[in-house]
Each structure stands twice: as structure tokens, then as C-alpha cells.
Amino acid sequence: MEAGKIKIALTGNPNVGKTTLFNALTGSRQHVGNWPGVTVEKKSGSVSYKEYDIEVIDLPGTYSLTAYSMDEIVARDFIIEEKPDIVIQVVDASNLERNLYLTTQLMELGSKILIVLNMCDIAEERGDRIYIDKMQELLATPVIRTVASQKEGICDLLDKVIEQKEVQQHHGHEIGYGTEIEDRILEIEKVLAEDETRDTRYPLRWISIRLLEGDSNVREKISKSPVYDRVIQIIDSIDQEEYEAEIADKRYLAINTVFPQMCTRANGKLTKSDMIDRVLTNKYLGIPIFLALMWGAFELTFAFATPFMDMIDLSATWFAEYVSSSLQPAWLASLVGDGIIGGVGAVLVFVPNIFILFFLLSLLEGSGYLARAAFIMDKLMYKIGMHGKSFIPMLMGFGCNVPAIMAARSIEDEKDRLITILVVPFVSCGARLPIYVLFAGTFFGRQAGTVIFGMYVLGIIIAIISAKLLRATVVKGKPAPFIMELPPYRVPTLKTSLIHMWDNGFMYIKKAGTIILVGVVVIWVLASFPWGVQYGSEDSYVGSLGHAVAPLLKPLGFDWKISVALIFGLVAKEIVVASMGVLYGAGESSDVLSDRLIADSGMTALTSLSLMAFSLLYMPCVATVGVIRKETGSWKWAVFAIFYGIIVAWITAFVIYQGGVLLGY
Amino acid sequence: MNEDQETTLDTLKPGEKASIRKVRVKGTARRKLMDMGMVAGTEIELVRNAPLGDPMDYNIKGYHLSIRKEEAKQIFITKL
Amino acid sequence: MDISGTVDEKPDTRLPMIFSLICGFLYVILGLLQMVAGAGRILIGTDFVMPLSGILFVPADVIGSFVLLLIGTVFLYGVMEMRSGTYEGISYAYVGILLALIFAVIYLLVSTGNMLEAYLLGNEEFADWTLLSDMKPGIYLAILPLFAYIKWKDFFEPTTEASFRMDLK
């Protein structure tokens, strides 16, 4: 036999360290977190070990192989249809009983199983004892002990994989479900076997059990079979809920009969994780600590980032000047200098914020605290028609809406997820801050801080109202039940956090290099043509565009210049400030711009307030729209987000401006 | 029906233990709860409520599972 | 579980209790000082000077004072629980230590940022910045918790558990 390829699939409960093991095996850098459900799609990598090429596929974590979420269907279809040589179930040693539930289901699938006992360190800290030899014997499956985060036991595992590949063992273990159910299973199996055209990859017993459990995905799979009607007849004759419970019962019963022989669980020893939980979810201290930690995270994101932002700012300015002065002809110098470097530079300035934000989020996630944040905030979120898990994406939104919307992936329920995605853009991201700083600073002097804070609050209020509104109209129904595992706290690994930071931060840089680059070139063209006009003046295309839109925005107190700035801001909100600079001929200096804004009779404190509110709410930036389209899978919701945003912004700004005028400001 | 038959999971106080009798939750949540170990005869302990009172943090089969009161009300138990 | 005698015996909590009491009071007192300094700055104006604030490096920072008070409260909450005989009260000492260290690290990082501004970039706003400008209670108070964190196993963990753990290896 050719010493060649082995295909292995990693499966297991969420949060048991599959991805860590995957990284340890393949050296790949997949995102790992201590938050159930991080791996959304399957990922593959490979490793060469002794003459073998081993392909490793990391499947999404699942608690069982039923079909209530996409993840589970992905995992089980892969195992059945792709027939990997060996299915490796990663098992959390500190949580053996529930993990074995999945094992019982994998055994029914009839594939070669190998169990990896991971996180033994946590189990041992707690005082649990696991008898691996006994476990192998009882489960009739090889069991390997690893600590994936320390790369312990990886070679043992690979040796075992190769050894198992050669063994022609097939799994004999099956769970008996009691006479009544077994009779039904036999009955269905018999009917199904009559179908000559059936897909033989699926074990008959497995299909029968699934059908009895009311698995809609399996039902659909056999819907073309000529015996379908007869099968359904059998299924309809039973009390499905009763069967469902009975089958789950029997599985746990089977586990319970073998479990005490392979593991003794320490009782009541106070672990570090219990200690931390006792305080962090304390009735009185839980919320203050949560707020303090969030404040700390934002303090770091903004204060610690400042010198790095200044460095980028200085280099961009220097580079733009250098290019402008050394390039010929003039239009090219203007395009590269004013347009590309100025525009992209304005966005790259935020890279340090984004990097730090992701690093901190990864620490929170890896430590297990994010799950507690959802736990602590669920009641509040539920009240506004959202899910506890929506809280984290909303929080990330303060940094940047793009990753925030991606973070909504961890929400299983489609409706909950959709609402979160649509509401996140109202959370005031870092890019909107420069707008507030400029206008509040110019027109509100000592009250600037309060005004800026007010903008953040306004964003949150609009988000809450929108969530309620969406729940009442487009996305009807109640938030999905909150059923979540609170994983034990762990010390997050620096490497994982750095990888997470780099991957997500790099995405932001890529955005600056693509969407925003295109955006700034378009703006430059519109502002410079017809050729010969003053850059960004009334006679340029952009000037005409501003004049065309201005009547619509007049009731909000905006003139053509603001209209132009707002149009530019569609690309990325930070561009609003940059284009005001251009339109007022103030260049890079914000002091000059402030003076000119005050001198302009069209700009008052009231207009600036209206403008800040409008910038906060009107359509999400291009990158956000793009990610909404990608994450919801359709343009429908992206377009909805655009129009909804514009309408909300217009109404809010109208109320502020006209209300202010009425009150005599 | 005596009083004991009516006891539901949400009436448990922190530190109290119970044995699960029946899960009456509907829909996909039912399946999920069972897969997570909420089957008849399982011992369950309320560790604590969230700071705002809901959801709750239960210890079941040696791990922490958090669910809302709303679901807990539909899970019938026998107090231990 | 055949190791009898270790289950019901509640370990001694005197040491963590004394430690928490000291830390709790220090954090609460400095938190209050900082709050008065911050509130005074807001209510009275920039010429308000807190007595002692110079020697103790107390900045006029209200939000920061909440953090100090919070850490202090966590410690004292633990003292209350331990006094009433709940061994689990030791959790508050542990988490208090962690929080104290986390915030000290945050302050130190922010301070590093300021240092870069002052010395590397020569930012005018940071012209008078020295290493002591960012010194604050949140940083120096953490020395005690840091020590406790390093020595946690020796002092706070009951010895019976340690021997129990040995035979696992």
C-alpha cells in the first residue's frame, strides 16, 4: 500500500480546544477564542509526518449532531459524505460527561473515531481523575491525552492516527434505546432498505434514529425516495416529543453507566475559575466591575494608541508633501498627494486603535469573560428585543462597525443576528469621533466633552429604538432562548491574541487599501474636474453635486459645502472632516479650519449639532455596507440599512435643527 | 397533582440542588437543552443569578450552563 | 473519594483576611482622596489643591477614583464574607488582586504612551512630562497585591489541598 494520504476531521463540543489543536497540528493560524462557536466554517490544513501527508479539517464545534444550526449540519454532512479516514473528537477533560454525548452520536455514524482528551490541566487542577486505560477499554476507542496549548501529546496523536489508519477496525458500539424505540428503528430500517437508489453513505440505523428524533434535515434528504411516504407514516404515528426525550435520556444513561468507571470527579473543590466567577458575577459588584473593565479597555484603546497614531499622521503628512513637491505633472502630484496619500493616511491613522481594540477583545474572549458579559447583560438586551450575545458586537461597534458586524456571527438565531447587524451601525464608531471633536470643539468650547458624550448616547438610544422597531415590524418574534455554556476562565495565550489582532487589523488595512483608495480617487476626480477649477470649489463636479443635494438638506440647516462633505463621508466617515478642510481651504490645520467655521455665518452651534447627529446616523460607511451585504447574504438588507439610516438621520437632524430654531437659538 | 409535581427549575435558590423530571420547553430550545444534558434524572444546582436577576447560572454534569427564567419555568424538577 | 478529613475541614482564612483588610482600606482611602481632588477641580476650579495630593500623587480624576473604590470594595466585601465564616470569601481577595494588577498594567501602558509622546515625538503638550507625572495610587498601591499574587500559593492556599494535588502527577 502506498504510504500516502490520511484525511482526518477534528470535531467536538464548542470551546474544547479544537482550533488550538488544529493550530498545533498544522502550524496554521486560525482564530481561537474562549467563546462558544468561534469556528463558523470548516477549515483545512495539512501536516507531513513520517511518510504521511495528513490533511486536517477543523469542523465547527457542536454539542450534538442534530440539525438545529448550520454548524451542526456542516459538521455531520462532512463526516458522512466526505468520509474522512479518522474522525478525531476533541474532548474537554474537565467536562467529560457532556462531551461523551457527542461521542455516542459519532459512533452511530459508523466512522473510525479517535478521542483526544484535551485540557487535562484544568481537570487536574480541579482534582478530577481520569483513567485513560479504562476509558479506552469502555469506549473501545483509542484515547490520547494532550494539552494542545502547550503542544503536549501532538506526536503521540499523529502516531496513533497512522496506527489507526492501518487497523481495519469498525465500531461495534451501539446504544440500545429500549424495546419500543428499537422496534420502530427496525421497522423504518426495513422500509428504507427497499429503496435501491438510496445514498449508501448514510447508515440506515442512523437515518432511522434521526427521523424518530424529528430531524428535518434528514427528512428532507430522503424526501425523493420512493418509500418516503411509508416512512413518514411510521413517524407520524409516534409521539415525537416523547421519543426525542427518550432517545436523549438513553444516550445519557449509557454514558452514566460507564462514566463512573473512567472518571472520578472532585467534589466542591473551589477552583480559580469558580473564585473569579463568584466575584465577577456578584449581584452588587458584577456590573461595576464590568463597567470598570470596559472603561479600562477604552482607555487603552485610545490613550495608549495616541503616540502611534501621531507617528502615522506625521509620516503620512511628510510623505504627502514629499510626493506633491517631487511629482510631475501637477495633476498627478495633486492626485497622489492630496487625494491618495491624504485620504488613505486619514484612515490609516486609526490602525493603532483597531489593533489594540482587537487585541483586548481577544484577551477578553480568550479568558472567558465575554461569555460572562453576555450573561450579565442579557436581561437588559432582552428588554430591548435583543439577545445577550448581541452585546459584544454592539460594544465592538464603538471601535469599528465592520468587525462588530462580523462578530455577530456568534449569534446562532438568524433573527437575533439580523437585528444586531442592522443596529450596530448606529453605535458611534471611532471614525465619527474626529467629526465631533472638530465641531463640538469649535462651537461648544468647554461643553465639548458633554456634547460628544451626548452623541454617543444618542447613537445608543437610536440603536435601542431601532431594535424595538425592527422587532415590531420586519423581524417579528421574541429573541431566541439564552442557552449558553459559561466556560471556565483561562489565562489567554499571548500568541493567540496577537494572531487575532493581526488578522483583523490587517483586514482594516486592506479596506484602506481597496475601498477607501477607490473612494478617495473618485472624490479627487469629482473635486478637480472640470479641469482648471479650484480644487473642491463650487464650480467643480462635486460643487454641483453639493448644490443638487443641498435643497434636500436645507431644512436641517446644511448648505452646499456640508452637503459635499457628507457625500464624501459615505466612503468613510472620517473623510467628512478632511473634506471640510478642503472646502474651507484650510488644508491640514484644524485651528485654521475652526476659525473659518466660526467666521462662516452659515455655521452656527445649532447647525453643528444637527450636522454631528446627521453624521452619526446617516448611512453606514461603504465598508460597513459591504460587510452587511456579506454577512446577511443579500443586498436587500444592505440597501435597507442605507435607506433606513438616511431616513432616521434626516428626521433626527430635522428635529434638532427646527426644534432649536423654534426655541430661538 | 400534588405540589411537588408542579415544582419548576426557576424556583430553585442559589446552592439548592434538584433532579430534573421533565423538560417541557418547546421548539429547538428543547433539543438543545437535552443535548446539553437536561435529561430526566440529572442533578442540577443553581449556582447564582446574573446580577440583574436573569438569566441563571446552573451547574449540571460538572459544567456551567446559563438559561433564562422563561425556559427554567418550563423545566420540572424534584428538589433534593 | 477516599481521602477523608479534607472535605469538611474549612481552611484558615486569617491571613487573606488581614491582607484584604489592609488592601481594602488603602484603596478606599486613596479612592476617596482622589474623588475629592477630582470633584474639587470640577466644582471649585483649577486652583483647588488637595492637601496631601502632592506626596501621595493623587490626580484629580473622578473616573479613576471609582476604579480605586471598586477595587477597595472588592477586598472589603471579601473580608465581610470571610468574617462570617464563608471560606469562599477568599475569592474576593484573589479577584481584588487580579483587578489591582490589571488596572496597574493599564495605567503603566498609558504612561508608556505618554513617554513616547514626550521623548520620541517631542509633542508640545507633553513638554513638562516626567516619569513622575503619571504616578498615581492605582500604580503604586498595586505593589502589595503583586507581592500577594506571586506568593499566593504559599500563603493563601490551604496545605491539605496542596498535598492532595501532589499525587495526581
Q: Pick from C96, C110, C116: which is nearest to A299 by CB?
A: C110
The confidence band for B4, taking pLDDT boundaries of 50, 70 and 90, is low
- What is the predicted pLDDT for the residue at A586? 61
- What is the predicted pLDDT for the residue at A234? 87
* % of chain C beyond a pLDDT of 70: 82
CA–CA dist C135, C145 (Å, integer): 17
CA–CA dist A411, A392 (Å, integer): 10
**Range in A591-605, B12-26, C26-40 the model is least confident about:** A591-605
User: Is 70 exceeded by the pLDDT of residue B55?
Assistant: yes
Angle A360-C95-A283 from CA coordinates, rounded to 5°: 95
The long-range contacts involving C35-44, CB below 8 angstroms and separated by at least 24 positions, are C35/C62, C35/C65, C35/C66, C35/C69, C37/C61, C38/C62, C38/C64, C38/C65
The confidence band for A267, taking pLDDT boundaries of 50, 70 and 90, is low
- What is the predicted pLDDT for the residue at A545? 86
Chains touching A by CB (3 or more pairs below 8 Å)? B, C
CB of C74 closer than 8 Å to CB of C92: yes
**Range in A9-13, A40-44, A382-386, A467-471 the model is least confident about:** A40-44
User: Is 90 exceeded by the pLDDT of residue A284?
Assistant: yes
User: Is 80 exceeded by the pLDDT of residue C25?
Assistant: yes
Greatest Cα pair distance in chain B: 34
Count the neighbouring beta carbons within 10 Å of the beta carbon of residue A48. 8
Q: List the binding residues of A for Mg(2+).
A: 23-24, 26-27
State the residue for C-alpha cell 481577595.
C93
Stated length of chain C: 169
Q: Which stretches of A222-368 are DSSP H helices?
A: 228-236, 240-262, 272-280, 286-299, 306-326, 330-334, 342-348, 351-367
User: Is 80 exceeded by the pLDDT of residue A41?
Assistant: no
**Domain spans, chain A:** 5-166, 179-264, 519-662
SS (H, E, C) A597-651: HHHCCCCCHHHHHHHHHHHHHCCCCHHHHHHHHHHHCCHHHHHHHHHHHHHHHHH
CA–CA dist A33, A305 (Å, integer): 24
- What is the predicted pLDDT for the residue at C155? 66
- What is the predicted pLDDT for the residue at C159? 46
Question: What contacts A236, CB < 8 A, 6 or more positions away?
Answer: none
Put simply, the answer to whether C90 touches A264 (Cβ < 8 Å) is: no
Question: Looking at this protein, which amino acid is placed at residue C127?
Answer: A
**Range in A237-246, A312-321, A332-341, C56-65 the model is least confident about:** A332-341
User: Is 60 exceeded by the pLDDT of residue C162?
Assistant: no
Residue C9 counted as domain residue: no
- What is the predicted pLDDT for the residue at A511? 66
DSSP-derived letter for residue A537 is -
- What is the predicted pLDDT for the residue at C9? 55
Beta-sheet pairing, A263-264 with A483-485 = unpaired
Give the structural domain span for C21.
Answer: 14-162
Cα C42 to the center of its chain, rounded Å: 26
Terminal CA-to-CA distance of chain C, rounded, Å?
Answer: 17
Helix axes A448-472, A635-662, angle to 10 degrees: 130
- What is the predicted pLDDT for the residue at C161? 44
Count the neighbouring beta carbons within 10 Å of the beta carbon of residue A288. 17
Q: What are B7-53's pLDDT values in tens digits?
A: 999 999 999 999 999 888 888 888 889 888 899 889 999 999 999 98
Residue C6 counted as domain residue: no
Count the neighbouring beta carbons within 10 Å of the beta carbon of residue A344. 21
The model's pTM is: 0.83
Rounded to a whole number of angstroms, the distance from the CA of A485 to the nearest CA of chain B is 5
B41 neighbourhood in chain A, CB within 8 Å: 249
CB of A122 closer than 8 Å to CB of A130: no
Chains touching B by CB (3 or more pairs below 8 Å)? A
CB of B5 closer than 8 Å to CB of B76: yes
The confidence band for A590, taking pLDDT boundaries of 50, 70 and 90, is low
- What is the predicted pLDDT for the residue at B65? 95
**For A103-118, what is the mean pLDDT?**
87
Q: Is A583 helix (H, G, I), strand (E, B) or coil?
A: helix
Question: Looking at this protein, which amino acid is placed at residue C76?
Answer: L
Put simply, the answer to whether A375 touches B61 (Cβ < 8 Å) is: no
The confidence band for C23, taking pLDDT boundaries of 50, 70 and 90, is very high
CA–CA dist A109, A103 (Å, integer): 10
- What is the predicted pLDDT for the residue at C139? 92
**For A313-338, what is the mean pLDDT?**
81
- What is the predicted pLDDT for the residue at C166? 34
Question: Looking at this protein, which amino acid is placed at residue A360?
Answer: L
The confidence band for C167, taking pLDDT boundaries of 50, 70 and 90, is very low
Q: Which of A463, A381, A480 is nearest to A423 (CA)?
A: A463
Q: Say if B69 is an interface residue toward chain A (CB within 8 Å).
A: no
* % of chain A beyond a pLDDT of 90: 15
Q: Pick from C92, C109, C117: which is nearest to A300 by CB?
A: C109
**For A244-258, what is the mean pLDDT?**
88
- Residue A98 or residue A437, greater confidence: A98
B77 bridge partner residues: B20
Residue C1 counted as domain residue: no
CB of A508 closer than 8 Å to CB of A406: no
| Mean pLDDT rounded to a whole number for chain C | 81
- What is the predicted pLDDT for the residue at A615? 92
**For C102-131, what is the mean pLDDT?**
85
Interface present between B and A (3 or more CB pairs within 8 Å): yes
Rounded to a whole number of angstroms, the distance from the CA of A275 to the nearest CA of chain C is 4
CA–CA dist C34, C61 (Å, integer): 6
| A395, A452, B14, B40 from B5: Cα distances, Å | 43, 56, 21, 14
Sheet holding B75-79, edge to edge: A483-485, B63-67, B56-60, B43-49, B17-23, B75-79
DSSP-derived letter for residue C121 is I
- What is the predicted pLDDT for the residue at C20? 94
Which of A513-527, A630-644, C98-112 is modeled with the greatest confidence? C98-112
Rounded to a whole number of angstroms, the distance from the CA of A228 to the nearest CA of chain B is 24
Task: Look up residue B47 and give its three cell numbers.
Answer: 449556582
CA–CA dist C67, A227 (Å, integer): 68
Put simply, the answer to whether A486 touches B31 (Cβ < 8 Å) is: no
CA–CA dist A420, A475 (Å, integer): 11
CA–CA dist A409, A62 (Å, integer): 15
DSSP-derived letter for residue A68 is S
Architecture of the structural domain at A179-264: Orthogonal Bundle (1.10)
Rounded to a whole number of angstroms, the distance from the CA of B3 to the nearest CA of chain A is 24
**For A180-197, what is the mean pLDDT?**
88
Rounded to a whole number of angstroms, the distance from the CA of B6 to the nearest CA of chain A is 19
Total domains in chain C come to 1
CA–CA dist A571, A516 (Å, integer): 6
**Domain spans, chain B:** 3-79
**For C10-36, what is the mean pLDDT?**
89
Task: Look up residue A5 and give its three cell numbers.
Answer: 494520504
Question: Looking at this protein, which amino acid is placed at residue A659?
Answer: G
CA–CA dist C5, A547 (Å, integer): 86
Greatest Cα pair distance in chain C: 69
Put simply, the answer to whether A285 touches C73 (Cβ < 8 Å) is: yes
Ramachandran angles phi, psi of B56, nearest 5°? -115, 155
C7 neighbourhood in chain A, CB within 8 Å: 267-268
**Among the four given CATH numbers 1.20.1560.10, 3.40.50.620, 2.30.30.90, 3.40.50.300, the one describing domain B3-79:** 2.30.30.90
Residue C5 counted as domain residue: no
Closest chain A CA to residue C118:
A307
Beta-sheet pairing, A86-92 with A5-12 = parallel
**For A362-372, what is the mean pLDDT?**
87
SS (H, E, C) A356-378: HHHHHHHHHHHHCHHHHHHHHHH
- Residue A40 or residue A391, greater confidence: A391
- What is the predicted pLDDT for the residue at C3? 41
The confidence band for A70, taking pLDDT boundaries of 50, 70 and 90, is low
- Residue A507 or residue A313, greater confidence: A313
Task: Look up residue A174 and give its three cell numbers.
Answer: 451501539
Stated length of chain A: 665
- What is the predicted pLDDT for the residue at A169? 62
Put simply, the answer to whether A277 touches B33 (Cβ < 8 Å) is: no
CA–CA dist A129, A265 (Å, integer): 6
Task: Look up residue A295 and give its three cell numbers.
Answer: 472603561
| Mean pLDDT rounded to a whole number for chain A | 83
Q: Which class would CATH give A5-166? A: alpha beta
Note the ipTM here. Answer: 0.93
- What is the predicted pLDDT for the residue at A620? 83
State the residue for C-alpha cell 447647525.
A607
Burial of C157: CB neighbours in 10 Å, binned 0-12, 13-18, 19+:
middle
Q: Say if A140 is an interface residue toward chain B (CB within 8 Å).
A: no
The confidence band for A30, taking pLDDT boundaries of 50, 70 and 90, is low
- Residue A455 or residue C130, greater confidence: A455
- What is the predicted pLDDT for the residue at C10? 62
- What is the predicted pLDDT for the residue at A589? 58
If interface means Cβ-Cβ distance under 8 Å, which residues of chain C face chain A? 1, 7, 63, 66-67, 70, 73-74, 77, 87-88, 90-92, 94-96, 98-99, 102-103, 106, 109-110, 112-114, 116-117, 120-121, 123, 161, 164-165, 168
**For A537-552, what is the mean pLDDT?**
84
**For C156-164, what is the mean pLDDT?**
48
CB of A422 closer than 8 Å to CB of A644: yes
Q: Which of A375, A412, A481 is nearest to B52 (CA)?
A: A375
If interface means Cβ-Cβ distance under 8 Å, which residues of chain A face chain C? 124-125, 127, 129, 264, 266-270, 272, 274-276, 278-280, 282, 284-285, 288-289, 292-293, 295-296, 299-300, 303-308, 310-311, 314
